[in-house]
Chain A
Amino acid sequence: MFAEATEAATEVALKSGWFLENAWVIPIIPALSFFLIIFFGKRMPKKGSEFGVASMFGALVFAGGAAYQWIQRVNGASEGAFISPVVKTWTWWQNDGFSFGIGQHVDGLTVAILLVVAFISTLVQIYSLEYLRGDRRYTHFFASLTLFSAGMLNMVVAENMIQLILGWEIMGLCSFLLIGHWWEEGANSRAALKAFFTTRTGDIGLLTGTAILFFSANDWTTKNLGVSGFSIRGLSSWALSGDPGHAAITMGAIALFIAAIGKSGQFPLHTWLPDAMAGPTPVSSLLHSSTMVVAGVFLVARLYPVFFKGMDILSGSANFIVVIGGITIVIAALLAFVQTDIKKVLAYSTVSQLGYMMMGLGAGAWLPAVFHIFTHAFFKACLFLGAGSISHSSSHHSFEMKKDMGGLRKFMPITFGTWIISTLALCGVFPFSGFFSKDEIIDNVGHNGYNVFMYVGLAGAFLTAAYMTRATYLTFFGQPRGASAGEHHEEESHDSHAAHDDHADHGHDSHDAHASHGPHESGLLITVPLIILATLALSSGFLNALPFGEKFENFKKWVEPSAEVFNPTGIAYVKGGLGEARVAADAPTDSSVAPDAEVVSDSETVVVEDAYATAAEGEVGPEMLRSTAASGEDTHSEESGHHKSPCGTEAPTQGVCAAPQLNHAPFKWSKAGLSMLIVFAGFLLSLFVCIQLYEKKNKKFVGLTERNKVLGFGYKLLVNKYYLDVLYEKIIVRSIAHPIAAAVYWFNQKVLDGAVNGAGTTAKGIAGWVYRNIDQRVVDGAVNGTGNAAQGAGSALRPVQSGKVNQYGALLFGAAAIGALVLVIVNT
């Protein structure tokens, strides 16, 4: 059966296309645009923003083309077959036998994320045209924004870990630049530093993990796949091959996951993410929907086999990823309740949603987690841009919900409508996109036996509904307050908001004119992106709408890699540049074909012969493998309709795997109904509390936290963010940094300065001696001596030049006579 399936796959040659083969161009476009903006942006009529928008649009077109061609490729392949990624590598640099490649690894995951990143980036850039109009560093903003997207796109198409790290670090740098865009405020530059250092803390894990995996995997991947131990496909296959030792792959996976914790704002390194709100709102939107924070989740999804084996996912017991994800969901959702800044509510909401993604990945729900990245990008970007729209047009650059918002639904109907749609999507209400992704995560987590975490997910859904209701209520309902009510900012209130997002100080004067007109709807450049995003927040879920049957499971079909065993030479392998000409794309995988037929180089021939030799011995033939795998599986194999592959559960004996076999929970209305009930309970309870608290000022609720000690303690804990910032900044950083600083100061003063001063004094002494003795006597003496000698010789010889011809003749003949005498003496 297995052999037949692969045979069928090879008969139909996998389709490819120009956009798919050249997906590596996608990150190049914004990267080039970055340089254009930096060098020529200020001289352009639109101050460089045209380059940014055009390049992102170009990237979007290319990504769209690649996505379309990938779908063609999948649809053209036979059912359940392994669809090889479109891989290209060039040698980036070589050193001592190691060559580091750069290239592309395009599969369903890549294509999906590319599309989302390019799409959101384009809309955010369009939005920024209006939002940052007149900003002091308008050109630099667009440059950083474009490079930021380039970094993410590069990371997504990365062929190997080195390229992935490159993109990852570019994003780290750009997030620093963008969060600190208005660095004149101390708070903003502190937030930028915090984001940078916190993610750097995690990045240590990325480097360590990459190194561990490289040294563990390189031998295996070089021998069996002809690729280095950095290669994504090499690492994926290696993880499932049975070759890796448990300790090595576990350490590697943990190290990489620490990087993901830092980047994706997971507990306990989530503290930088809410502070990152100091950046301009479009940055928050891009950062929190599709680029920066998704990078960590993407890393886990990309190298899923490594995490699958390293963390023992699906082994039934809780693992590191699922625990961190679960904790993050709840703590971040709770924190969202005590925020008064609308962007911070959304920031914690993002953290919480990232927790969902991580929890899903940790519990084997790969597809729902990736789908949640996809849908979350749209509605979260929409929410952030909506918040920006409010502050831009109605609340005079304030994000304080309690002080400066309220009752805005009448003034901003478009912002309100898109906000509501996105909120419903975020909460996971039925026809909206969040339902199809978030509910699937919760469902699959339970299905895979992580029951505790299913309840955590449900609790998170409840909390999400509740805090979003609170934020919506405070923003759009009730009476307008503060700036929204048309109150002009007086000097002191102006200053009190300065710490948040007040960029009126920064050359943003054009808004002061219309801000005095009271709340109103934003312009087209802002509302059109909102409407597009809201439409997608509503509709993107139908890409993988499980309740409507298999026809709607397109995302699964297109994105989820097949867990088939395949022959390594089956990888579409197009190598350019310096490498040897090895073209083995879609080579026959039938074991009856002679091994030397499709292999070019000798060393690989040997490898393949080995593989077939073990298969031919018949210890575990493909049929036996099939039967053991099938008998070992439970009834899900019948539900999924096709056979189970051994990938993930045991080492394949013939060929390699690219993805572990995962289960998919069947959709049941009863489960969906339960989560819907919980969400609506959250809505209603939160609405009730909000009305009592903010509208009616009910005595029972107002001031409850001061009266009740337990609630008061909880409130205090939340307001202080679980004291994690205190722990990091006051305890860890101070206890480590301050003694080090003191020691370094002492060392500096005593040792270094002493050494420097001593060296100075010694040098001065030596210099004096040298001056007096060598310079004055020897050198000057020599110089003067030469002059004196010349002068003396001149005056001594002057009489010779008498001008008398006779004397000259006498000298001539005298000299000739002496010469003759010498000649005679020498010759005798």
Chain B
Amino acid sequence: MFVNQFLILAAVLFCIGVYGVIARKNAVLVLMSIELILNSVNINLLAFSMRHGSLDGHTFALYIIAIAAAEVGVGLAMVLLMYRNRRSIDLDELSEMKG
């Protein structure tokens, strides 16, 4: 079994996620990009787990899925509040905390 196909897929997903986090102005899209990043990591964990015949990686992947769900919950709640206050979810407008 070749690990590198999985790794390449994970790297591609990661790069797409990073691009989304940096370039997108929509907050929801940024959250989704973060999900991509997290899942690329999951793929990596599972790939190496299969490679070594151990269940550790699966366990970590399950944890990450659970944390990602919580993160998305918190993130969407913030987006909702943002929208309530400003009627917009454009991240460029949220620069009031600049130094």
Contact = CB atoms under 8 A, between A and B. Distances in A.
A802 B22 contact: no
A72 to B, nearest CB: 101
Interface string B44-80: 0000000000000000000000000000000000000
B21 A809 contact: yes
Contacts of A799: 99
A806 B91 contact: yes
B98 to A, nearest CB: 3
A802 B21 contact: no
A723 to B, nearest CB: 99
Interface residues of B, number: 15
B96 A803 contact: yes
Contacts of B91: 804-806
Contacts of B23: 806
A827 interface: no
Interface string B82-99: 000000000110111111
A298 B98 CA distance: 97
A292 B97 CA distance: 92
B95 A802 contact: yes
Interface string A781-824: 00000000000000001111111111001100100000000000
B30 A805 contact: yes
A805 B94 contact: yes
A457 B75 CA distance: 124
Contacts of B21: 806, 809-810, 813
Give the interface SS of chain A, mostly helix, strand, loop or mixed: helix
A816 to B, nearest CB: 9
Nearest to B14: A813
Contacts of A801: 97-99
A809 B19 CA distance: 10
A798 B22 contact: no
B7 interface: no
Interface string A489-507: 0000000000000000000
A281 B99 CA distance: 92
A809 B99 contact: no
Contacts of B18: 809, 813
Contact of B98 (A802, A809, A810, A813): A802
B95 A803 contact: yes
A804 B99 contact: no
A705 to B, nearest CB: 112
Nearest to A813: B18
A803 B96 CA distance: 6
A806 B98 contact: no
A810 B21 CA distance: 8
Interface string B1-38: 00000000000000000100111110000100000000
Most buried by B among A797, A798, A803: A803
B31 to A, nearest CB: 11
Interface string A446-487: 000000000000000000000000000000000000000000
A481 to B, nearest CB: 108
A485 B30 CA distance: 126
Nearest to A811: B22
Contact of B22 (A797, A800, A803, A813): A813
A806 B22 contact: yes
Contact of A800 (B95, B97, B99): B99
Nearest to B23: A806
Which of B21, B23, B30 counts the most chain A CB atoms within 10 A?
B21
Contacts of A813: 18, 21-22
Contact of B25 (A797, A806, A810): A806
A798 B98 CA distance: 8
Q: How large is the interface on A (under 10, 10 to 19, 20 to 34, 35 or more residues)?
A: 10 to 19
Interface string A606-642: 0000000000000000000000000000000000000
Contacts of B92: 804, 806
A804 B22 contact: no
A386 B94 CA distance: 110
A178 to B, nearest CB: 83
B84 to A, nearest CB: 18
A73 to B, nearest CB: 99
Contacts of B94: 803-805
A809 B94 CA distance: 14
A565 to B, nearest CB: 103
A562 to B, nearest CB: 105
B53 to A, nearest CB: 25
A809 B30 CA distance: 10
B90 to A, nearest CB: 11
A155 B95 CA distance: 94
A803 B24 CA distance: 15
A798 B95 contact: no
A590 to B, nearest CB: 100
Contacts of B97: 801, 803
Contacts of A804: 91-92, 94-95, 98
Contacts of B25: 806
Contacts of B95: 802-804
A802 B94 CA distance: 10
A810 B22 contact: yes
A677 to B, nearest CB: 123
A799 B98 CA distance: 8
A628 B96 CA distance: 124
A445 to B, nearest CB: 111
A810 B18 CA distance: 8
A59 B37 CA distance: 101
B98 A803 contact: yes
A799 B22 CA distance: 17
Contacts of A802: 95, 98-99
A809 B99 CA distance: 16
Greatest chain A CB density within 10 A among B30, B91, B94, B99 is at B99
Contact of A798 (B30, B96, B99): B99
Contacts of B96: 803
Contacts of B24: 806
B92 to A, nearest CB: 7
A587 B68 CA distance: 101
A815 to B, nearest CB: 12
Nearest to B27: A805
A806 B18 CA distance: 10
Nearest to B15: A813
Contacts of A798: 99
B74 to A, nearest CB: 14
A805 B95 CA distance: 8
A348 B92 CA distance: 115
A802 B22 CA distance: 14
A801 to B, nearest CB: 3
A784 to B, nearest CB: 24
A283 B18 CA distance: 107
Contacts of A806: 21-25, 30, 91-92
A806 B20 CA distance: 9
Nearest to A801: B99
Contacts of B22: 806, 809-810, 813
A797 B98 CA distance: 11
A810 B33 CA distance: 13
A802 B95 CA distance: 6
Nearest to A800: B99
Interface string A22-52: 0000000000000000000000000000000
A797 B22 CA distance: 20
Interface in A531-546: none
23 contacts: A800-B99, A801-B97, A801-B98, A802-B95, A802-B98, A802-B99, A803-B94, A803-B97, A804-B92, A804-B95, A804-B98, A805-B30, A805-B94, A806-B21, A806-B22, A806-B24, A806-B25, A806-B91, A809-B21, A810-B21, A813-B18, A813-B21, A813-B22
Given A798-B99, A806-B24, 7 more contacts: A799-B99, A802-B95, A803-B94, A804-B92, A804-B95, A809-B18, A809-B21
Interface of B: 18, 21-25, 30, 91-92, 94-99
Question: Which 3 pairs between the two chains have the least Cβ-Cβ distance?
Answer: A801-B99, A803-B98, A803-B95
